[in-house]
Amino acid sequence: MTSAAAADPTVGELSEAEVLAAVLAQLGPSAAELGPGDDAAVIAMPDGRVVATTDTLVHGPDFRLAWSSALELGWKSAAVNLADVAAMGARPVALLVALAMPDRTRLSFAVDLARGLRDACDTLAPGCRVEGGDLTASDTLTIAVTALGSLDGRAPVTRAGARPGDVVAIAGDLGRAARGLDVLFERFRDAAGTPVAVDPSLLCDDERAALRAQLRPAPPILLGVAAAAAGAKAMMDVSDGLLLDARRLAAASGVTLALRADTLGDDPDLALRGGEDHALLAVFPAGAALPEGFRVVGDVIAGGADRVLVDGTAPSGRGGWDPYRDWDAARG
């Protein structure tokens, strides 16, 4: 074994305890009553209720190692779960992370992924920490994260509270992450369609920003609690594209959402159909003072449930990302 390999062994060459110790060293001090090291964590929730969500990132349909660093994967796996907690109007408290890695995975990869998890929590949801999880071996790299949040005495903000007369608002980017994915598929694959490493020198500033939005999303996590405090009646994380997710909120509330194209940025179609920005879509009472960071993009009107109109017209097609329908196309 070379000296470089000895300094950075594969996880298959180490015990679970050795890998875990290296990972835990990157996560910082626990914020729980009882953190990592026992059979389970003990986490205090002020009003006795827990907001819980989970999301899984799998190599292939969800990320490509040729395009994403371990730091970026750790960051993104935290961010997408923190956004779901925020969309309930809750404060993120803890993450539980299950990591399945091939034996050939270098220890430095697991360490950097843990650093990415901590960096995302520190930046997007201060006070939230990784408080436990699991390590196992797998032929496919898989990152499964469960996020826990506290409502701190407030009612949860669900998808079902929108009513005619309310206003529709967005916090965060729309379409930028989808633009980043387009850049990856268009610029960084070989003739056979296999992903190749990103060369930043080939990109303009706009393309670099789009890649950051795709690989290292920064959802407005703290605005979830701010929206709840401002009286948000319905809210959700825009993960699969505004058109698809707005239809989900409309269906849950039994209303129609009437959006205005001129509020959706320079490329309204990409804003409607692109996913993974993890913006917050919220509905507020008419006349409410919106928290700074939210912008009005439309209104709630009476009509058939599960309907979204843009400038008075129902857009064609399903819109957004569905892993069961779209994965075959993504492999192309």
Residue 53 known to bind ligand: yes
- B/e letters for 201-232, b = 16+ CB within 10 Å, e = fewer, are eebeeebeebbebbbbbbbbbbbbbbbbebeb
Residue 62 known to bind ligand: yes
Residue 67 known to bind ligand: no
Q: Write out the E strands in 153-252.
A: 167-171, 234-238
CA torsion 332→177→54→236, rounded to 10°? -120
Residue 240 known to bind ligand: yes
Residue 123 known to bind ligand: no
> What letter does residue 315 receive in the DSSP assignment?
P
Measured on CA atoms in the order 127, 132, 135, 139, is the torsion positive or negative? negative
Residue 84 known to bind ligand: yes
Residue 39 known to bind ligand: yes
Supply the DSSP string of 57-70, one letter for each residue: EEBTTTB-TTT--H
| Helix (H) / strand (E) containing 100 | strand 91-101
Residue 321 known to bind ligand: yes
Residue 206 known to bind ligand: no
Residue 331 to residue 64: CA distance in whole angstroms: 11
| Helix (H) / strand (E) containing 309 | strand 307-310
Report whether 93 contacts 121 (CB < 8 A): no
Residue 182 to residue 179: CA distance in whole angstroms: 5
Tokens standing for 60?
Answer: 């292939």
Residue 12 known to bind ligand: no
Residue 276 known to bind ligand: yes
Residue 72 known to bind ligand: no
- CA dist 67 → 110, 216, 322 (Å): 17, 12, 21
57 φ, ψ (degrees, to nearest 5)? -110, 125
Residue 159 known to bind ligand: yes
Residue 319 known to bind ligand: no
- CA dist 174 → 219, 243, 308 (Å): 11, 11, 16
Where is the binding site for ATP, in residues? Answer: 133-134, 159, 239
What residue numbers does the annotated binding site for substrate cover? 62, 276, 321
Binding-site residues for Mg(2+): 39, 53-55, 84, 134, 237, 240
Binding residues: 39, 53-55, 62, 84, 133-134, 159, 237, 239-240, 276, 321
